[in-house]
Structure 1
Amino acid sequence: MQIFSINLSTSSNKLASCRRPLYFNLVLGFFVILGIFSWNVRAYGQIDQSNNSSPIEVVRTIAEKAIKETRFEFRYTMPAKYKETEIVDFSNNFGKNAPGVAYAASSIISGDTQEVTFEISHNDHVKIWINGEVAYDQAADGTVEVVYNEKTYTLKNKFNSRLQKGTNEIFIQAETKGKGDWVFYLQSAGMKEPSASAKNIYFSLEKLAPDIKGSNWLILGRFPAIVQEIETQFKPGEFYKSADEILTWTVPKMEIFADVINNGEFYNWNYHVGGFMWAMQALSDETKQLKYARFSRQWMNFMIDNRPLIEHQVKKLHGVKSAFNTMIDRPMLDYTTAPALPFISRLVREGKFDEREEYTSFVSPIIAYAKKGQVRLQDGTFARKEPVELSVWVDDMFMGIPFLLFSAELSSDKSERERLYNDAASQVISFNKHLFDTGINLYRHTYSSTRPENRYPHWSRANGWGLWAAAEVLLRLPKHHPLYQKIMLIYRSHIDALVKLQNPETGFWRNVLDKTESKDETSGTAIFTMALARGVNNKWLKGAKYKTSAMKGWKALQTAIEKDGTVHGTVVGTNVSMDLKFYYNRPVMDNDTHGLFPLIFAGIEMERMLKK
């Protein structure tokens, strides 16, 4: 493997636009009015064109586009000025190996008069004044504690302050014993996004030093002891004597970060990019074209090679939102088992390869996490703590179950293999118990163990994740397993419900499956088409209606794919809500990997089905 390369250019390749000029559309519209010719406009505004290419040829255009447009490189960027958490590292300016005192000044801009709860972590004693009043005064044990949650992080201490609407002055005195980091983290709910508990809070120098750009803070130090005359106020232009030194206000030293190019579209660290690389492995197997597996290996090697850099940026440079930060200490299947699928798949599929030891070292702690680290309900079902405590998301069937199956295949220990297979099979049964709506045979997006009466919608892609997980279990679980036939019944009842809900006019499935006012959506349609074709191919499904439904789904998907591999109509990542309009109004995105990798798997299964 190779050490990471860095592209210092901030420019990025722009995807070629597929939109036709306005005058072209006007001319076509004129001819339609005259009746000279016409076409059927499909979902998402795509023109319905006959596509005689085989499914594999179609999805190869997606893979080729990814290979062509992806460079596994970094560029240097500055941290964002307005961010969720304010972090000031005094040791960058003043060192960390001697005792001392430093000061920081800024303004908190508040969108309303409000009582706000702040969280803070720091190394030693910190005192904070807001609008001249002491808001916080506490020592610490030298450890800066940041607890990484699924999608947020928690700081050690809390304090409340009443902010006035507009500008609020904040002044901080921070001491160090000279035995480690000299830093504070400060955040509130309102810094992340406006909420019921906090509205529009951000830090700024727009009043204290409006000409200073790139920093929200001024700092002063190091002093050997507390300086009384500057304890509660900031004075522009003042200088202070410390021993033989003159000290003046300055800005914290800025770190630069290695960041992704072009938003890291095909090389970020999340489940859908990991899924895409898993799909590229499968495409390589199907076509015997090594370039697709090579692309997947490039991504995996890039991640393994650069994990030390990623951890350094998150932990040492305090880049909590830096590139691939979700790889570091995030207790969530989305960021552990799911993106690791291509890694463990390669370990299972291939015998000896040069990097096998490194892959094993990378995957082993993730296997341990899946077995003992992941949050679960008392019955063992995978669960989440955010945004609802101990909630079960059907998404996590896909995020965790396939990885358990591969872990079983990888294990040489018979009893361990049986435990992993049992866990995978039991997860399907448990998710079905908590989330499967037997009145309609669809999964609800979420189940809240603390509020089981809450009824969440039947979101398309979530149902896809659940169906895909069941199909993986049927494919990989030993057929003599005692739960195999129960899982087959779950799969078939789910499929039968989905066939009835396919849009008869377009062949797509809607984003909210059972609501005709909901729009057609690509990623869910791709997963259902894949699962139908896989069922036909493996003789799990018998009857012409299943093949017919798969064919209709595939024909619909072809209308969402441009000849250059651009894919339209995939709904972006989606949180949970009981509000149907939340799902109706989710934006769609071109080339979203949530939709790309299911499409590749759908193409593979459709190719096999049509050949039979």
Structure 2
Amino acid sequence: MITAVLLISALLTAATTAPRLPASEPAPIPAPAAVSGKAPAPDWSTAMVEATMRRHSPGSLGGWSYTRGLYLYGQYLVYQRTGDPRYLRYIKDWADRFVDSGGGIGQSFSNLDSMESGNVLLILARETGQARYRVAAQKIRNRLKSYPRTSDGGWWHSTSDSREGQLWADGAFMVNPFVIRYGQQFGDAAWGDDESARQIEIYASHLLRTSGDAAGLLYHAYDQPGGRTASWVKPALGHTNGISWCRAIGWFGMAAIDVLELLPPAHPRRAALIELIRKLVPAYARWQDPATGRWWQVVTEPGNSGNWTETSCSSMYTFTLSRAVERGYVDASYRDAARRGYQGVLARISLTSDGLTNLTTISEGTNVDDVLSYYFNRPRTTNDFHGLGAFLIMNEQMIRTGDGQGES
């Protein structure tokens, strides 16, 4: 029997008793369980976590960044399913490089990207019961009180002069799941529920494509008129960059799903967020590559010879499709698109001769541009943390619904 992954909302309802956290020395990857009549099928989540722990100690994993926060959140989901205490200890050891005994954290939180790893602080506050992680997380909450906004209330992607007034679809994920989790975990739900849902709606109002074959997709970024105008702005396309980059849309979809997981049933914005999912999911299915089950780096350019199917966004879309079906937001027929996406992503993962996972064809971190070749020419990496984190989130979802491979 496949062990069920606890829902994301368990972050808000689990007990706060501090566990005993053993050393994080990684063990060799276990031999995959044999499947009758088939080649051995590894538990790809545990294989990836074990490989990452062998490749990187908590001290060498990397600095405070959204990519590490994304990955470690995925590792936490694997911990929830398997109960392996080494996985939680590893997360704690990484975070303790940045959080001191009093909860001090040396981050200015001058952009939304820097806030994503706040989810790790929320996890540790619950799992350990130590107040210092709440203190550190509260610094993000306090920063958001004065963080600059567009005229209609959207948080800028960054406070730097060159990005003043900009909303990137990426940013919806960098801050809003943290906001609603923080609010419900620490008695600030009126703010967290309202603000997270409001931000999703504001971002969609500027970025969502509403006509043509690409209706339901999003443009990568928007720049508010009236200030410094970014070089990529296309005024005729709503002051956006005019390009639908796959991972940006994936970030947005996961953010909307994560907020809906916790938004109360009677919340006045809940119906609007579900309606966004009902626009996004058919667009995902419409633009899925029929040959591979994956999605293209520039979603709307499948016939362009420079384009390529990208692994991290394919994981994100698969997760969103699966969860949307599971929650009843969309018709059950979209489960087939999720299954095809899952198989397409699995085609990109393998084990090396020494038992380490390799996940390939992941786009490097990406800025905003209005030229297709910029996105086509982004380096294609192996084991980039954008891809590792998205893979774990997707794989744990698929295991939990019975559509993925896990421990037998």
TM-score band w.r.t. shorter chain: 0.7 to 0.9
TM-score by length of 1: 0.54
1:419 aligned to which of 178, 184, 191: 191
The amino acid that maps onto 2:108 is D
Matched, 1:358 2:346: no
1:65 aligned to which of 48, 51, 55: 51
Give me the whole-angstrom Cα distance separating, in 2, the residues matched to 1:469 and 1:299: 24
Written as runs of structure 1 = structure 2, the 5 A alignment for 1:532-611 is 532-544=321-333, 546-563=334-351, 564-610=356-402
Residue 562 of structure 1 aligns to a residue in which SS? strand
Written as runs of structure 1 = structure 2, the 5 A alignment for 1:331-350 is 331-335=110-114, 337-347=115-125, 349-350=126-127
How much has 1:363 moved relative to structure 2?
1.4
How much has 1:409 moved relative to structure 2?
1.2
Give me the whole-angstrom Cα distance separating, in 1, the residues matched to 2:56 and 2:325: 35
Q: Which structure has more strand as a fraction of its residues?
A: 1
Residue 512 of structure 1 aligns to a residue in which SS? coil
C-alpha offsets along residues 581-608 of structure 1, whole Å, 9 cap, x if unaligned? 1001111111100111110010011111
Written as runs of structure 1 = structure 2, the 5 A alignment for 1:157-196 is none
The amino acid that maps onto 1:469 is A
Q: Which residue of 1 aligns with 2:9?
A: none
> Is contact 2:181-2:192 (8 Å) kept?
no
How much has 1:307 moved relative to structure 2?
11
> Is contact 2:110-2:159 (8 Å) kept?
no
Matched, 1:431 2:179: no
Residue 63 of structure 1 aligns to a residue in which SS? helix
Written as runs of structure 1 = structure 2, the 5 A alignment for 1:304-383 is 304-305=99-100, 328-335=107-114, 337-347=115-125, 349-350=126-127, 353=129, 356-370=130-144, 372-383=145-156
The amino acid that maps onto 1:390 is G
Q: Which residue of 1 aligns with 2:17?
A: none
C-alpha offsets along residues 216-241 of structure 1, whole Å, 9 cap, x if unaligned? xxxxxxxxxxxxxxxxxxxxxxxxxx
> Is contact 2:45-2:392 (8 Å) kept?
yes
> Is contact 2:65-2:117 (8 Å) kept?
yes
The amino acid that maps onto 1:269 is W
Q: Which residue of 1 aligns with 2:13?
A: none
Aligned length: 344
1:278 aligned to which of 73, 82, 92: 73
Cα–Cα, structure 1 residues 458 and 51, in superposed 2: closer, same or farther, change >3 Å? Answer: farther
Cα–Cα, structure 1 residues 502 and 71, in superposed 2: closer, same or farther, change >3 Å? Answer: same
Q: Which residue of 2 aligns with 1:477?
A: 263
Give me the whole-angstrom Cα distance separating, in 1, the residues matched to 2:399 and 2:288: 21
How much has 1:278 moved relative to structure 2?
1.2
Residue 378 of structure 2 aligns to a residue in which SS? coil
2:164 aligned to which of 363, 383, 389: 389
Q: Give the alignment's Cα RMSD to 1 decimal.
A: 2.2
> Is contact 1:280-1:295 (8 Å) kept?
no
> Is contact 1:59-1:600 (8 Å) kept?
yes
Give me the whole-angstrom Cα distance separating, in 1, the residues matched to 2:400 and 2:182: 27
Residue 447 of structure 1 aligns to a residue in which SS? strand
Give me the whole-angstrom Cα distance separating, in 1, the residues matched to 2:119 and 2:113: 11
C-alpha offsets along residues 43-74 of structure 1, whole Å, 9 cap, x if unaligned? xxxxxxx87626xx11221111111122234x
Question: Max radius of gyration: which structure?
Answer: 1
Give me the whole-angstrom Cα distance separating, in 2, the residues matched to 1:283 and 1:539: 24
The amino acid that maps onto 1:53 is A
Residue 222 of structure 2 aligns to a residue in which SS? strand
The amino acid that maps onto 2:202 is S
How much has 1:305 moved relative to structure 2?
4.2
Give me the whole-angstrom Cα distance separating, in 2, the residues matched to 1:493 and 1:466: 12
Residue 265 of structure 2 aligns to a residue in which SS? coil
Matched, 1:520 2:292: no
Cα–Cα, structure 1 residues 582 and 51, in superposed 2: closer, same or farther, change >3 Å? Answer: farther
Residue 350 of structure 2 aligns to a residue in which SS? coil
How much has 1:345 moved relative to structure 2?
2.8
Q: Which residue of 2 aligns with 1:295?
A: 90
The amino acid that maps onto 2:194 is N
Q: Which residue of 2 aligns with 1:152?
A: none
How much has 1:446 moved relative to structure 2?
0.5
TM-score by length of 2: 0.80
Give me the whole-angstrom Cα distance separating, in 2, the residues matched to 1:59 and 1:51: 18
Q: Which residue of 2 aligns with 1:90?
A: none
Query: Stretches of 4+ moved more than 6 A in 1?
Result: none
C-alpha offsets along residues 97-128 of structure 1, whole Å, 9 cap, x if unaligned? xxxxxxxxxxxxxxxxxxxxxxxxxxxxxxxx
Written as runs of structure 1 = structure 2, the 5 A alignment for 1:113-192 is none
Cα–Cα, structure 1 residues 589 and 418, in superposed 2: closer, same or farther, change >3 Å? Answer: same
Q: Which residue of 1 aligns with 2:29?
A: none
The amino acid that maps onto 2:107 is I
Matched, 1:398 2:173: yes
How much has 1:361 moved relative to structure 2?
2.1
> Is contact 2:325-2:335 (8 Å) kept?
yes
How much has 1:419 moved relative to structure 2?
1.8
The amino acid that maps onto 2:117 is P
Q: Which structure has more helix as a fraction of its residues?
A: 2
Q: Which residue of 2 aligns with 1:409?
A: 184
Q: Which residue of 2 aligns with 1:173?
A: none
The amino acid that maps onto 1:531 is T
Structure 2 alignment gaps of length 5 or more: 1-37
Cα–Cα, structure 1 residues 271 and 286, in superposed 2: closer, same or farther, change >3 Å? Answer: same
Give me the whole-angstrom Cα distance separating, in 1, the residues matched to 2:291 and 2:135: 50
Structure 1 alignment gaps of length 5 or more: 1-49, 74-263, 312-326
Give me the whole-angstrom Cα distance separating, in 1, the residues matched to 2:383 and 2:330: 31
How much has 1:388 moved relative to structure 2?
3.5
How much has 1:514 moved relative to structure 2?
0.6
Give me the whole-angstrom Cα distance separating, in 2, the residues matched to 1:291 and 1:586: 35
> Is contact 1:344-1:363 (8 Å) kept?
yes
Cα–Cα, structure 1 residues 375 and 478, in superposed 2: closer, same or farther, change >3 Å? Answer: same
How much has 1:373 moved relative to structure 2?
3.2
Q: Which residue of 2 aligns with 1:192?
A: none
Q: Which residue of 1 aligns with 2:24?
A: none
C-alpha offsets along residues 527-555 of structure 1, whole Å, 9 cap, x if unaligned? 001111112222223222x1111111111
Residue 366 of structure 2 aligns to a residue in which SS? coil
Give me the whole-angstrom Cα distance separating, in 1, the residues matched to 2:373 and 2:381: 18
Give me the whole-angstrom Cα distance separating, in 2, the residues matched to 1:303 and 1:268: 9
Matched, 1:503 2:289: yes
Give me the whole-angstrom Cα distance separating, in 2, the residues matched to 1:543 and 1:282: 25
Residue 342 of structure 2 aligns to a residue in which SS? helix
Task: Determine which structure has greater relative contact order: mean sequence separation of CA pairs < 8 Å that are 6+ residues apart, divided by chain length.
Answer: 2
